[in-house]
Amino acid sequence: MGAIEGEAAREIDATGLTVAPGFIDVHAHDDDAVMSTSMDFKLMQGVTTDIVGNCGAGMAPRDPARPPMPGVNVVLGASHEGEWQTFGEYMDAVDRADLAVNVGCFIPHGAVRYFAIGMDRTEPDEAELARMRDAVARGMAAGALGLSTGLIYPPGAFAGTEEISALAEVAAEQGGVYMTHMRDEGERLLEAIEEAVRIAREAGLPLEISHHKAAGRANWGKTEQSIALIEKEREAGVDINFDAYPYTAGSTILAVMARRPEAEPESVIVSSVRDKPEYEGKTLTQIAEMLSVPPDKAAQRVLEADPSAVAVFFMMDEADVRRVLAHPLCMIGSDGIPSPTGKPHPRLYGTFPRVLGTYVREERLFSLEEGVRKMTSLPARRMKLAERGELREGFAADIVVFDPETIADRATYEEPRQYPAGIEYVIVNGEIAAEHGEQTVARAGRLLRRSSG
């Protein structure tokens, strides 16, 4: 930006440090946490904007005649349950909250389907589809960024391609993005990409593939084919990007993944189990030995204790992770699941410093400038976040100041709740939110509604 003249309430000496736009977590699950926690796990790694409503899971819309959607409240939190029904009302609640970071919202398809149909596996009838389309239209009118799906999670998994296309059309009419946790990330990865592309093409909107990966040992190396397919479709006119996190392990609800072939018992670490802390931090193999039962029975016992138990799954190959992260179409998203107890995946605390410390400084996989672009200007433009993601006159003062020589993640699978090193200042909308590894009392975050540009 060059020399800046004039008076300031506070001047920071950033000699020898890197001054960058605040990081944007394009794939977060902090739908409740943004309103109910200090968001220290994101702020302390330089995140100033959090994108929620991913994987088709979210807090709205809600039908008060139905019980809460199974699993969602446990994973996302429920401290504000009952304060809204429509997605617009949820966004208004976020807007009123004392936010530590900025928040952008996707409309979650799973919540929309549950609102209209419940957990039925049937296709929606004409009236039900109309109710779903209306819910999406209202959410988009309220400023949502687009529509998200999670096609391995019930009830979203019960939806056909035509249903999703019909809803994506509504999001497209108001300039939205289609963000998808695809139907498969393993054996049928390429077919899942083809389905996502078909939806985006038919609906006429940009496509964002969430946490792109090749899961399962038998599928390692397949990202070479998947990226080639993505590039081919982009050349054919499909506006497509993807995001990723810098780890070879993922994390999600144990019940969803436990029976999948890529979930090997010795590679599954149980991270959060309500009322059974003795299971936390152990693999299914270790729990099986502890209980003197086979691994599948051990998983069953964990789920009997807590049907919404969360686990970490080591399913990816480092070469695939590197290939995906290095691609110029790739943005950075933590996919972190906030949890007040247990041992969450370290990505919740370490994603962004890990990219800049491990893959930029140590591995030299791409330049510092490219690493910053992947977590700032690229997602800001992709998500139509006006006046965010760049350091330029007239833009919001979301800023992170870090030492490129020392920035590093400290969170581990054994001790995940550790702040990173090397981040000196985090500034949200002009207010210092973190300084020298300590969070301040500032709560300067804002709800970011979709811009028209």
From CA 8, how far away is CA 132, in angstroms rounded?
Answer: 50
Regarding beta strands 23-25 and 18-21, do their DSSP bridges make them parallel or antiparallel, or are they unpaired?
unpaired
For residues 114 and 258, membership in a common domain is answered with no
For residues 256 and 295, membership in a common domain is answered with yes
In a domain, 60, yes or no: yes
For residues 32 and 121, membership in a common domain is answered with yes
User: How high is the pLDDT of residue 79?
Assistant: 63
Of 315, 333, 360, which residue is a domain's last?
315
User: How high is the pLDDT of residue 340?
Assistant: 84
User: Each residue of 25-65: pLDDT tens digit?
Assistant: 999 999 999 999 999 999 999 999 999 999 999 999 999 99
Percent of the chain with pLDDT over 90: 87
pTM of this prediction exceeds 0.75: yes
CB 302 within 8 A of CB 273: yes
User: How high is the pLDDT of residue 176?
Assistant: 98
**Structural domains in the chain (count):** 2
From CA 39, how far away is CA 104, in angstroms rounded?
Answer: 15
Expressed as residue numbers, the domain containing 52 is 18-248+316-439
Of 263, 281, 315, which residue is a domain's last?
315
From CA 1, how far away is CA 137, in angstroms rounded?
Answer: 40
For residues 355 and 421, membership in a common domain is answered with yes
User: Each residue of 112-154: pLDDT tens digit?
Assistant: 999 999 999 999 999 999 999 999 999 999 999 999 999 999 9
Of 315, 338, 359, which residue is a domain's last?
315
Distant-in-sequence, close-in-space partners of 188: CB < 8 Å, separation ≥ 6: none
Strand order in the sheet with 102-105: 23-25, 47-52, 102-105
User: How high is the pLDDT of residue 345?
Assistant: 96
89-100: string of b/e by CB count within 10 Å (b at 16+)? bbbbbbeebebb
In the 3-class helix/strand/coil scheme, how is the chain assigned residue by residue? CCCCCCCCCCCCCCCCCEEEECEEECCCCCCCHHHHCCCHHHHCCCEEEEEECHHHCCCCCCCCCCCCCCCHHHHHCCCCCCCCCCHHHHHHHHHHCCCCCEEEECEEHHHHHHHHHCCCCCCCCHHHHHHHHHHHHHHHHCCCCEEEEECCCCCHHHCCHHHHHHHHHHHHHCCCEEEEECCCCCCCHHHHHHHHHHHHHHHCCCEEECCCCCCCHHHCCCHHHHHHHHHHHHHCCCCEEEEECCCCEEEEEHHHHCCCCCCCHHHEEEEECCCCHHHCCEEHHHHHHHHCCCHHHHHHHHHHHCCCCEEEEECCCHHHHHHHHHCCCEEECCCCCCCCCCCCCCHHHHHHHHHHHHHHHHCCCCCHHHHHHHCCHHHHHHCCCCCCCCCCCCCCCCEEEECCCCCECCCCCCCCCCCCECEEEEEECCEEEEECCEECCCCCCCECCCCCC
Mean pLDDT by 10 residues, the chain (453 residues): 67 95 98 96 99 96 88 66 89 97 98 96 97 98 98 96 99 98 98 99 98 97 99 98 98 82 84 91 95 93 92 96 99 95 95 99 99 99 97 97 99 97 98 97 97 62
Look up the CATH number of the domain holding residue 267.
3.30.1490
For residues 421 and 350, membership in a common domain is answered with yes
For residues 340 and 423, membership in a common domain is answered with yes
In a domain, 4, yes or no: no
Strand order in the sheet with 310-314: 249-253, 310-314, 268-272, 282-283
Q: If phi over 0 gives left and psi between -120 and 50 gives alpha, with beta otherwise, what is residue 53?
A: left
User: How high is the pLDDT of residue 5?
Assistant: 66
For residues 191 and 130, membership in a common domain is answered with yes
User: How high is the pLDDT of residue 349?
Assistant: 98
In a domain, 450, yes or no: no
